[in-house]
Chains A and B, each alone.
Chain A
């Protein structure tokens, strides 16, 4: 195996994407076949390369900017996961996007995204990384924008939010380069403190915003409504999480050495906890399948950030394990929502219901994924969460409580979702729904099976995937066969039971699963806050927009003022002067002669006074 396979991972999908664009719209199956072939090849190649370690180095430009790629256990793990998701979601999209108007563009951007993600994961130079990173921003923009009428606004929102964060990262990268004197990631080893901390924070902003953490999350719920669904399952649910958390882990573990005592570790944990709680609170009250999922996509990032932020081995392993788990169950959940949308025509929970009988396989997949995300044993989410709980408890009770409360609310919201969508009476929309096509079911089933497998055989993902990636930071510990802390398991079990009881009681009281947790929505203080949140009062993007509006109004006034000076002020002066001059030009000989003689007089007196001849 030569290391030329590495650029192939990047340029293969890129070229294929270009080819897809060239395929005429009328040719039906060609582009689907192309996408499937490329993603399958990508997956196979990634799996073949998995055990390898290789680097590729081309001197590119001056200033330490070189095209250098590096494949090692961590990046191979991410690559393989990305390849897997890409293939499965491509398969799913072949049905979902079939004969849709923007299908061709979708597939092209899909492949571009895969190429960029591969590039970002492989790159061993910060500048090269940044190039792929920013490129992904553009494909995200494009993928949202092809969604529909309102999608463009959302796309702009995503572009601005992630763009601002990426700008921070760019500055951070420049700072890192300045501090360490090199952009080669594998050579950088910086200490925190002073400028180093600033650089860490800036790069961290870039990483967690890509992962979709608060406060850079607000475009995700909007995009879940506007963008094509496979996009949600592909990027925000899976690949962007992988990429963002991958970079965060690299920053925390390789570029800088985050230690548990540092303030930055605390800051990360606070960000994680706040993200968990606020996002899940928002998820709880959503009345739309996809929107609810999207808030969970944000909430779960909190667990990962919390896990990595603990800076203790068990937390880090938990965070990374949660990353892959989340990518699995969340993309599975999105895929189920896509299936529901396709079969019933809506994802509005008030118009859904009783789908379990109509779409049993989908329901089964949903059930597994929801149980996994809620942390129900023995699915994968349970184990990763337990590891994180362990790490959080080691750092402080508050973080543990936040995490466990998040877990409770997650369970509650998924009970509500499952109840409203799949159980209960059939609605008008679900009356004629049928099971989704097999090709759409396959990815769901595969991923759901993965959830079960990772849960039952957790020593494989932890031992073979996660721990090798960070083997330098494990301090010799091995968590692959560690049994969860019994006390914590008990607390978790109680929490889950409480969530179940709470749901049953709530549903009985309100008479429907959808309204089971409305009492939280209607709580005295919370209802006002919720209302404001729904009106996007807490959206930094909206604040920015208001600020920019004010600012642009100010600029507009200023501009008008300057304009007035040019349009009215100066011409007015000129006209007044000109009129005065016209009045003086009366046509009188004497006046004109007087001017001439006056001019002569001044001339002669001036010449005499200077005596220059």
Chain B
């Protein structure tokens, strides 16, 4: 039944494409329904059970699989697609554009779902490309120059990453003769210590790092995030880079390469560099979305730090942090969208005291900032705590301490953001500003409730959702 996760969106896409104009109006609603279906499906055992489709549909029985990790990613994808679609209202206004936007969202959804569910390295690559292509068209959706440049940058770097991954896949195929995860794993165990394999691993990882946007592979990411239309920024920061980069890296390392000492040190090193320098770079930004983009880099660094421990706790912490990051970063981008919608700018120098003008946006943004900075009892605190605990348990005391100090930096730049944008008294040019519309405050409130809820009920969340992931 897993095939449904791809087939139903595809059917919907064809449906809205080939229906006359009437269908285009309902495009948004269709995507919304798809997002709901996705969230429902994650919690539905009958869909998640890997049963074959009956009868004629058996043509579409693909080799897909889900485990807890995949399910969390599917959930994240569903949530973010839903949020992005809600937030798209004020930014995608023309009817035909709405149609294309919806279509691309469905394509993105299919691509991401595919990446999450396949257990074959080449299929993974194909869906990877689908998601990437959909992303850069989405970035370029606006007519202006900046989005085109951002899209172009994303395209270039994406293709470089593609080249890396593709060549690595080629080498692996050369050696293993198969592309399914299990076969490759066995083949790699049979032929260890080959320079060629090492090269393949290195190049593969580099490609994934580029997609994940960790330092020093991150160059394109701030431009892409900052120039994309608001809903697309939410999508990119929330799930696209996380799925294409972070999830894939985790999947490949867990299922194929396994944790070797060298691999762990690479992951930790990359994580540490990203966490520190991402945070430092974020401090100096003047553009709201660029700041959030660098913060995203820093948080991905944290995820890799947790993952790089290689211990069950570390992996669980990394996954938990992926989920939390998805939620609070989406929320921050929703807030940025609200600000952009009302002010027409993202330059933080021209904002002041918005909290009094936009109370919902201000409040939810504070919540998200605190969660991001790891302030108890919000969700972000627990995942960061787990990451640091995992580091400590692995005997990486220096790294753990650095991670703690870096979270101070995080707090610093988030407070800087809050002070510049939301706190204080509004200046004269803020006089006419009012709270953003319903379709920007609703997602903000939903995400804020998620942050607080996961934070407060974290023992339940951790034991029922997060820890089962590492029981492999």
Contacts and interface: CB of A to CB of B under 8 A. Distances in A.
Interface of A: 571, 574-575, 577-579, 581-582, 585, 587, 589, 591-593, 595-596, 598-600, 603-604, 606-608, 610-613
B220 A592 contact: yes
Given A593-B160, A596-B216, 6 more contacts: A582-B284, A593-B156, A593-B157, A603-B266, A607-B262, A612-B261
B281 interface: yes
A603 B156 contact: no
A596 B210 contact: yes
B201 A589 contact: no
Contact of A608 (B157, B195, B216, B283): B195
A581 B283 CA distance: 10
B281 A603 contact: no
A581 B280 contact: yes
B284 A579 contact: yes
B204 to A, nearest CB: 10
B36 interface: no
21 contacts: A571-B412, A575-B284, A578-B282, A581-B277, A581-B280, A582-B281, A582-B284, A585-B219, A589-B153, A593-B160, A595-B219, A596-B206, A598-B216, A603-B205, A607-B266, A608-B199, A610-B262, A611-B198, A613-B188, A613-B194, A613-B257
Interface string B238-274: 0000000000000000000100111100100000000
Nearest to B207: A600
B409 interface: yes
B203 interface: yes
A592 B157 contact: yes
Contact of B202 (A579, A591, A600): A600
Q: 4 tightest A-B contacts by CB? A: A592-B219, A578-B284, A604-B202, A612-B262
A475 to B, nearest CB: 71
A582 B286 CA distance: 10
B380 interface: no
Nearest to B202: A604
Contact of B193 (A574, A575, A613): A613
A574 B266 contact: no
Contacts of A579: 284
A571 B209 CA distance: 30
Nearest to B264: A612
Given A589-B156, A593-B160, A599 B217 contact: yes
Contacts of A575: 283-284
B452 interface: no
A574 B223 contact: no
A458 to B, nearest CB: 74
B328 interface: no
A544 to B, nearest CB: 39
A589 B281 CA distance: 18
B219 A596 contact: yes
Interface residues of B, number: 41
B223 A596 contact: no
B195 A574 contact: no
A600 B206 contact: yes
B262 A606 contact: yes
Nearest to B188: A613
Given A599-B209, A603-B202, A593 B266 contact: no
Identify whether the interface residues of B are mostly helix, strand, loop, or mixed: helix
Contacts of B262: 606-607, 610, 612
B183 to A, nearest CB: 17
B202 A607 contact: yes
A613 B194 CA distance: 7
B439 interface: no
B222 interface: yes
A603 B216 contact: no
A587 B209 CA distance: 19
A609 to B, nearest CB: 9
A604 B207 CA distance: 12
Nearest to B277: A581
Contact of A595 (B203, B216, B283): B216
B222 A585 contact: yes
A611 B193 contact: yes
B203 A604 contact: yes
A604 B219 contact: no
Contact of B266 (A581, A585, A606): A606
B55 interface: no
B197 interface: yes
Nearest to A595: B216
Given A600-B206, A613-B257, A595 B284 contact: no
A502 to B, nearest CB: 75
A607 B201 contact: yes
A14 to B, nearest CB: 44
Interface in B164-205: 164, 188, 192-195, 197-199, 201-203, 205
Contacts of B260: 612-613
B123 interface: no
A599 B198 contact: no
A594 B201 CA distance: 20
A611 B164 CA distance: 20
Given A595-B219, A613-B188, A600 B164 contact: yes
A596 B193 contact: no
Interface in B267-313: 277, 280-285
B219 A610 contact: no
Contact of B198 (A577, A600, A604): A604
A612 B192 CA distance: 8
Contacts of B188: 613
Contacts of B412: 571, 574
B194 A599 contact: no
A577 B280 contact: yes
A579 to B, nearest CB: 5
Contacts of B266: 603, 606-607
Given A603-B206, A613-B192, A596 B284 contact: no
Identify which of A571, A595, A603 gathers the most chain B CB atoms within 10 Å of its CB.
A603
B139 to A, nearest CB: 15
Nearest to B281: A581
Nearest to A577: B280
A369 B209 CA distance: 96
A351 B206 CA distance: 96
Nearest to A600: B206
A599 B153 contact: no
B217 A613 contact: no
A444 to B, nearest CB: 66
Given A593-B160, A604-B203, A610 B280 contact: no
A601 to B, nearest CB: 9
A352 B277 CA distance: 81
A612 B219 contact: no
Nearest to A592: B219
A578 B222 contact: no
A587 B226 CA distance: 12
A571 B282 CA distance: 13
A593 B219 contact: yes
B160 A574 contact: no
Interface string B425-455: 0000000000000000000000000000000
Contacts of B409: 574
Nearest to A603: B202
Given A595-B217, A596-B216, A613-B194, A578 B281 contact: yes
Contacts of B197: 613
B231 to A, nearest CB: 24
B280 A604 contact: no
A587 B223 CA distance: 8
B472 to A, nearest CB: 21
Nearest to A605: B202
Nearest to B197: A613
A600 B206 CA distance: 6
Identify which of B157, B217, B257 gathers the most chain A CB atoms within 10 Å of its CB.
B217
B233 to A, nearest CB: 18
Given A582-B284, A610-B262, A591 B219 contact: yes
Identify which of A571, A578, A598, A611 gathers the most chain B CB atoms within 10 Å of its CB.
A578
B285 A582 contact: yes
